[in-house]
């Protein structure tokens, strides 16, 4: 919880608006820039280490995708801002990893922020910050570090599969966003598995506070996922509805479909939310069931042996005149009585269904 809220407060506090400060954790990576330049019958792919080289591609006619990895290199971001005449607040948002998903429409470009979500190998939820600038002939994407969900799009561009090569930069933006959203379905599935696993633990393990803690953590993760995904509905809806000249009618069909997918993800998240919120109650009943069982064992043992011990105590008394003690079969008769009491109580508990 801490670092999502703390970073901007710590790192940005007191700075003038529009100052470009990277607020994330990945501060050591190199700057790594990919360029894809393509049209229906042309394709070129480059890896660059300085941002200036990329400018020449995007200014010329064919569609160009510039993928910038390494938000810690704020000077590169500033250079891009200068070259493409981006508003200072946009540059701030590109580097501010706490920025929520949003869309800003400007005269000459659109700016979109969204989140990539995945569980790392320790089952910890990771939230990565991506932003896109859509211009007339280019899309620039900004990521915290390399390693992403866009490989299928790279391949489609390389091989000319699908529609991407024959459509404009707005379709490329759609395709990139679609890849990110498609990946949410993996996350959703992993989430579902986590919930089921926890449910099984509730029943199987003996009561312990770890489970309580795990439920609380799960709630937190669901809430974080919601926060990362839900604003995207509004974002995609606004792009689709916007009458910005950069968004063509043909692409709007695809955006509507994307919107649909986000709604679907959102519905799944809401279901997981309900299920997760129910887990604590569920856990309470399993604890209570277990306590019930413990109590029953105690009650049965005590209810049977305390009266019998009393009977034994009676004939352990030292009164001079206890007639029964002198009976020849007194001891055996008492055993008989005790066994009768024992069986009677067993039968009583049986009938109460405690056994």
310-349: contacts with its own copies (CB under 8 A): 310, 312-322, 324-331, 334
- Rounded CA separation 293/156 (Å): 61
**Please, what is the minimum distance in Å from the beta carbon of residue 278 to its own copies?**
6
**Piece of 26-34, 50-58, 76-84, 289-297 that binds its own copies (CB under 8 A):** 289-297
* Token digits of residue 249: 């009618």
8 A C-beta contact, residue 308 and residue 344: no
User: Which residue in this structure is represented by tokens 């105690």?
Assistant: 298
Report the residue from 52, 56, 298, 344 that binds its own copies according to the rule CB under 8 A: 298
Number of Cβ atoms within 10 Å of the Cβ of 23: 21
Per-residue contact track with its own copies, 85 to 124, x per CB under 8 A? Answer: --x-x--xx----xxx-x-x--------------------
- Rounded CA separation 12/105 (Å): 24
**Please, what is the minimum distance in Å from the beta carbon of residue 18 to its own copies?**
7
**Please, what is the minimum distance in Å from the beta carbon of residue 114 to its own copies?**
14
DSSP H/E element including 280: helix 249-314
* Token digits of residue 40: 């229906």
Which residues 164-223 are close enough to bind its own copies by CB under 8 A? 164, 174-175, 178-179, 182-183, 185-186, 188-189, 192-193, 195-196, 199, 203, 206-209, 212-213, 215-216, 219-220, 223
| 3-state helix, strand and coil shares in percent for the chain, rounded to the nearest 5 | 60, 15, 25
Which residues 12-31 are close enough to bind its own copies by CB under 8 A? 12-19
- Rounded CA separation 256/235 (Å): 12
**Please, what is the minimum distance in Å from the beta carbon of residue 42 to its own copies?**
19
> Judged by CB, which is closer to its own copies: 30, or 270?
270
- Rounded CA separation 20/93 (Å): 8
**Please, what is the minimum distance in Å from the beta carbon of residue 3 to its own copies?**
9
Which residues 38-67 are close enough to bind its own copies by CB under 8 A? none
285 binds its own copies (CB under 8 A): yes
DSSP label at 23? -
**Please, what is the minimum distance in Å from the beta carbon of residue 54 to its own copies?**
26
Q: How many helices (H) and strands (E) does the chain have?
A: 10, 7
**Site size for its own copies (CB under 8 A):** 125
> Judged by CB, which is closer to its own copies: 79, or 224?
224
* Token digits of residue 232: 């995207």
């Amino acid at each position: 919880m801490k670092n999502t809220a703390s970073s901007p407060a710590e790192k940005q506090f007191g700075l003038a608006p529009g100052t470009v400060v990277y607020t994330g954790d990945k501060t050591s990576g190199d700057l790594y820039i990919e360029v894809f330049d393509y049209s229906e019958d042309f394709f070129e792919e480059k890896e660059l280490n300085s941002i200036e080289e990329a400018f020449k591609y995007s200014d010329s006619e064919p569609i160009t995708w510039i993928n910038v990895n390494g938000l810690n290199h704020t000077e590169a971001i500033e250079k891009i801002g200068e070259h493409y005449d981006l508003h200072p607040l946009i540059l701030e948002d590109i580097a501010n990893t706490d920025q929520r998903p949003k869309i800003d429409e400007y005269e000459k470009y659109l700016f979109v922020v969204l989140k990539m979500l995945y569980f790392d190998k320790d089952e910890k939820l990771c939230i990565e910050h991506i932003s896109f600038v859509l211009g007339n002939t280019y899309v620039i994407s900004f990521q915290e570090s390399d390693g992403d969900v866009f490989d299928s799009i790279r391949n489609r561009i390389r091989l000319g599969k699908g529609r991407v090569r024959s459509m404009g930069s707005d379709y490329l933006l759609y395709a990139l966003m679609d890849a990110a959203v498609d990946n949410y379905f993996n996350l959703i599935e992993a989430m579902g598995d986590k919930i089921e696993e926890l449910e099984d633990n509730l029943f199987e393990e003996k009561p312990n506070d770890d489970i309580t803690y795990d439920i609380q953590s799960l709630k937190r993760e669901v809430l974080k996922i919601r926060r990362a995904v839900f604003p995207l509905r509004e974002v995609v809806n606004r792009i689709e509805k916007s009458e910005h000249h950069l968004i063509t009618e043909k692409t709007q069909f695809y955006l509507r479909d994307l919107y649909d997918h986000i709604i679907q993800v959102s519905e799944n998240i809401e279901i997981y939310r309900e299920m997760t919120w129910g887990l604590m109650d569920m856990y309470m009943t399993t604890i209570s069931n277990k306590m019930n069982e413990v109590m029953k064992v105690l009650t049965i043992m005590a209810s049977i042996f305390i009266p019998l011990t009393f009977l034994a105590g009676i004939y352990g008394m030292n009164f001079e005149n206890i007639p029964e003690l002198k009976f020849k079969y007194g001891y055996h008769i008492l055993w008989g009585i005790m066994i009768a009491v024992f069986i009677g109580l067993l039968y009583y508990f049986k009938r109460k269904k405690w056994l």
